[in-house]
């Protein structure tokens, strides 16, 4: 059976709407570093585990390999510009971006719907990516609408949006 080429694969998965996050940590020199990621998922409730998939050629890859901790920042609908900024090849993505630090010194972006603080538990190869698993150790939540990514572009929720629990 023939395989699926990268273009078709992107088209297939483009029909799967995802939330948009920015993964943040600090590099070896202590500088804050981050990247936009939609390849994020919950893995387990007990213990609380999440995963994020990072391309080998992304500058975030060596930082996450070296880091013991990271934060998943779940972006709000009005944070498309932040998503675009952290998706770019930019040496100083945090310039002009508001953030605070966790008790452990990890950067958390201002205005996010949730910040999910993680201790890296494991990593596994995944083709041209590495899958990083994190134990959720804390976080914050706020109200608002999520930024979504669908069919190669940003989208929002229609109607009343999910207010349920």
Residue pLDDT, tens place only, 73-100: 999 999 999 999 999 988 789 999 999 9
Residue pLDDT, tens place only, 35-73: 999 899 999 999 999 999 999 999 999 999 999 999 999
pLDDT at site 2: 67
Question: In 3D, which of 112, 118, 65, 104 has the Cα closest to residue 86?
Answer: 112
Average pLDDT, the chain: 92
Residue pLDDT, tens place only, 8-19: 888 888 888 899
> What is 6-153's CATH superfamily?
Electron Transport, Fmn-binding Protein; Chain A (2.30.110.10)
For the chain, the structural domain boundaries read 6-153
């Amino acid at each position: 059976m023939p395989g699926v080429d990268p273009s078709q694969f992107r088209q297939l998965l483009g029909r799967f709407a995802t939330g948009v996050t920015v993964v943040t940590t600090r590099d070896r020199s202590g500088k804050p570093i981050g990247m936009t990621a939609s390849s994020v998922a919950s893995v387990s409730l007990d213990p609380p585990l999440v995963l994020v998939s990072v391309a080998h050629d992304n500058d975030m890859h060596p930082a996450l390999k070296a880091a013991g901790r990271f934060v998943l920042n779940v972006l709000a609908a009005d944070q498309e510009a932040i998503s675009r900024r952290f998706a770019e090849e930019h040496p100083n993505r945090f310039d002009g971006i508001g953030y605070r630090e966790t008790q452990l010194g990890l950067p958390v972006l201002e205005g996010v719907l949730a910040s999910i603080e993680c201790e890296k538990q494991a990593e596994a190869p995944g083709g041209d990516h590495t899958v990083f698993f994190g134990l959720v150790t804390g976080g914050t939540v706020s109200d608002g609408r999520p930024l979504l990514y669908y069919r190669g572009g940003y989208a929002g929720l229609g109607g009343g949006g999910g207010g349920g629990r």
